[in-house]
Amino acid sequence: MGGMKLVGARLLRHRGRLHGALAALVSCLALGLSACTTGQTHALIGAVYAPPFRTPPPEMQKLCDEHDGMKIYRTADNVAGFVDKTIGVKEPDQGCGNVDSCWTPLNSGTYRFIEAAASEKFINEYPPQIKPYRSSGYLGSFVEQPGLYRFTLEKLGHPNCRIFERWHTFMYANLVAQGKRQWRFPATCIATWPIERFTARYELREHHISRERSYGRLHTFVKQVVDRHGGTLMAEYRHHFIHFYNRDGSVHCVHDRNSYVGWKPARVIRPAQGNS
């Protein structure tokens, strides 16, 4: 009951700000549109689109208190690579299409390989295109056909970097014409290796929970590290936030900087020394 009163009080304060801004606009319109100052106009726009509250309501606060950030249950050492199933949550299996979970771990030398799938739906629905805007489509995931793949970082000229170089030329034709490279890969490329099955022991997973509410949607993004030998959950990350309907801004959990741990898989599946 107390939670409902709190939300109600926030809505009343929001209405009060809106009424004040409307009063200011009415007063300036009474004198003619040109009498409205920029500040008055911005005040009205700000009030109309301001979120009804700026701190977590009781339902969200409970979620924040129960699990905010990453909880680690067990770790593994000397990990060379993993299966990435975080790519394309709504439309999964998009190859090496995620910068954070595939490009960066390879390019930084953190892991030696990443394994991922490319679905037939992804290949069919995301072809490379130039119009109405340039998009590399499935080339940006370094695949051309559906299947299972292993991706590794190699030196320029490696034969398995053919799809990567096709993507690089498609997206950076001007740089290539000048004999230059995209800044992330000045002397390396990502190689594509078709495989019959995943062999990595560890897997990254992701799913989203969306709850419809009167003010908008209360979202929870869930990411996990799983041991594929037995399906043991090694770590889980949760991020809660509110997206308002027709309003600016959003609401997030308030983190304790001393204890909060963000999504850092390398703290769970610790890379082998000398991976790079």
Looking at the structure, tell me whether residues 248 and 112 fall in a common domain.
no
Q: What local confidence, expressed as pLDDT, does residue 92 receive?
A: 79
Query: Residue type for 92, please?
Result: P
Q: Return d(Cα 219, Cα 6) in angstroms, integer.
A: 21
Residue 85 inside a domain? The answer is no
Q: What local confidence, expressed as pLDDT, does residue 25 receive?
A: 55
Would you write out the chain's pLDDT as a tens digit for each of its 276 residues? 444 444 444 444 445 445 555 555 555 555 554 556 666 555 555 555 565 668 899 999 999 999 999 999 999 999 999 999 998 777 779 999 888 999 999 999 999 999 999 999 999 999 999 889 889 999 999 999 999 999 999 999 999 999 999 999 999 999 999 999 999 999 999 999 999 999 999 999 999 999 999 888 999 999 999 999 999 999 999 999 999 887 777 899 998 888 899 999 999 999 987 555
| Number of folded domains that form the chain | 3
Q: What local confidence, expressed as pLDDT, does residue 81 receive?
A: 97
Residue 221 inside a domain? The answer is yes
User: Of 195, 216, 251, which one is at a domain's C-terminal end?
Assistant: 195
Looking at the structure, tell me whether residues 190 and 210 fall in a common domain.
no
| The pTM of the whole model exceeds 0.85 | no
Helices and strands (DSSP H and E) totals, the chain = 7, 11
User: Of 195, 211, 241, which one is at a domain's C-terminal end?
Assistant: 195
Q: What local confidence, expressed as pLDDT, does residue 21 receive?
A: 54
Q: Provide the 8-state DSSP code for 123.
A: H
Residues 6+ positions from 190 with CB-CB distance below 8 Å? 96, 103, 106, 107, 142, 151, 152, 153, 154, 161, 164
Residue 276 inside a domain? The answer is no
Looking at the structure, tell me whether residues 183 and 125 fall in a common domain.
yes
Looking at the structure, tell me whether residues 97 and 170 fall in a common domain.
yes
Burial of 111 (0-12, 13-18, 19+ CB in 10 A): buried
Residue 247 inside a domain? The answer is yes
Q: Return d(Cα 58, Cα 66) in angstroms, integer.
A: 12
Looking at the structure, tell me whether residues 187 and 215 fall in a common domain.
no
Q: What local confidence, expressed as pLDDT, does residue 138 receive?
A: 94
Looking at the structure, tell me whether residues 29 and 67 fall in a common domain.
no
Domain that holds residue 242: 58-72+200-271
Looking at the structure, tell me whether residues 103 and 14 fall in a common domain.
no
Looking at the structure, tell me whether residues 33 and 102 fall in a common domain.
no
Residue 78 inside a domain? The answer is no
User: Of 167, 195, 223, which one is at a domain's C-terminal end?
Assistant: 195
Looking at the structure, tell me whether residues 176 and 98 fall in a common domain.
yes
